[in-house]
Structure 1
Amino acid sequence: MTTSTPETDSRTGHDHYHVLGATLSITADAETTDGEYLVLDMLVPPQFENGLHTHEQSEVFHVIEGEARLHVDGQDRILTPGTSGYVPGGEEHGFANEGDDVCRVIAVMTPGGAEGFFREIGQPTADRSLPDPVEPTAEMLQSVFATGEQYGFRFLGPLPERAE
């Protein structure tokens, strides 16, 4: 992955990135919030997961459309439109869209600063459209993991199977 210049959406002023098949729009970052938080507006394709990981920031996920699995500290919660889930800083967690429809999620991370990670691993795009589906290669994942370590992310592998 290479560092790239964002293409700012002239209608919203936000920058958008394709990240391993999802689209992330950065709507507020550390620079615009005095370092307090990062806000991501995410379009998450069907069958996408971000894997089990940790980072120092606390995080809130709020589902706007679709359904998502939030795995925190060994427990699963299904988030539906209008519901939110919280992840304490440093807690092992992961997020997945296990359904057949696109999921739209607002994620807020505090404090801010993780936007550098998403900007480095993402491919800038002029709009919020989803990219073609991506099957991440080992090389792509190693680049994401290495970049993530620079921002305090620790990747622990895929999400465990969901207990029914």
Structure 2
Amino acid sequence: MDVLSTEDARTDEAVPGVYLSQLADGDEMSVQKFVIDPDEAVPEHSHPHEQAGFVTRGEGVFVVDGEERVVTVGDSYVVPGGEAHRVENRGDEPFEGIDVFSPPRTDPDWRD
């Protein structure tokens, strides 16, 4: 069994105001913590990985095919692999949570 503390995880500023920490990863999935500052966004993108998440702080807006879906503390969500999406923080506090990717997303393109 592997254990990785968030304090020991590598955190990158993927785009301005968006911080992603790669946490545990295994053969079938990986875990990532995200923090999106107020008035910041993850631009539209897609990836082959299915993405399931859980919100721990704040509120975010997912935009998929022009449709907006608001998620807040305690909500979970799934973004199918290959589906283009963006995420915005329109609130006054950071938007934070945990994402699980399958297959593992251990070498994301935002690190390039």
- Structure 1: runs of 5+ lacking an equivalent: 1-8, 122-146, 148-164
Q: Which residue of 1 aligns with 2:23?
A: 27
Pair 1:14-2:9 in alignment: yes
Report the CA distance between 1:11 and its aligned residue.
7.3
The two structures, once aligned, show a CA RMSD in angstroms of 2.1
Hey, what's the Cα distance between the residues in 1 that align with 2:83 and 2:60? Answer: 18
Q: Which residue of 1 aligns with 2:59?
A: 67
Moved over 6 A (4+): none
Q: Which residue of 1 aligns with 2:106?
A: 115
Q: Which residue of 2 aligns with 1:92?
A: 84
Is the CA contact (8 Å cut-off) linking 1:46 and 1:98 kept in structure 2? yes
Deviations 1:140-161, CA, capped at 9 Å, x for gaps: xxxxxxx4xxxxxxxxxxxxxx
- Structure 2: runs of 5+ lacking an equivalent: none
2:42 maps to a residue whose letter is N
**How do 1:81-160 residues align onto structure 2 when only pairs under 5 Å count?**
81-112=73-104, 114-117=105-108, 121=111, 147=112
Corresponding residue to 1:54 among 46, 52, 70: 46
Structure with higher Rg: it is 1
Q: Calculate the TM-score normalised by the size of structure 2.
A: 0.82
SS at match of 1:115: coil
Deviations 1:75-125, CA, capped at 9 Å, x for gaps: 21100100012111111211111112111121111111x33126x62xxxx
Hey, what's the Cα distance between the residues in 1 that align with 2:53 and 2:75? Answer: 8
Deviations 1:34-84, CA, capped at 9 Å, x for gaps: 1x1121111110111111121111112211000000122332110010001
Tell me which protein shows more helix as a share of its residues: 1
Q: Calculate the TM-score normalised by the size of structure 1.
A: 0.58
Is the CA contact (8 Å cut-off) linking 2:18 and 2:41 kept in structure 1? no
Hey, what's the Cα distance between the residues in 2 that align with 1:72 and 1:23? Answer: 21
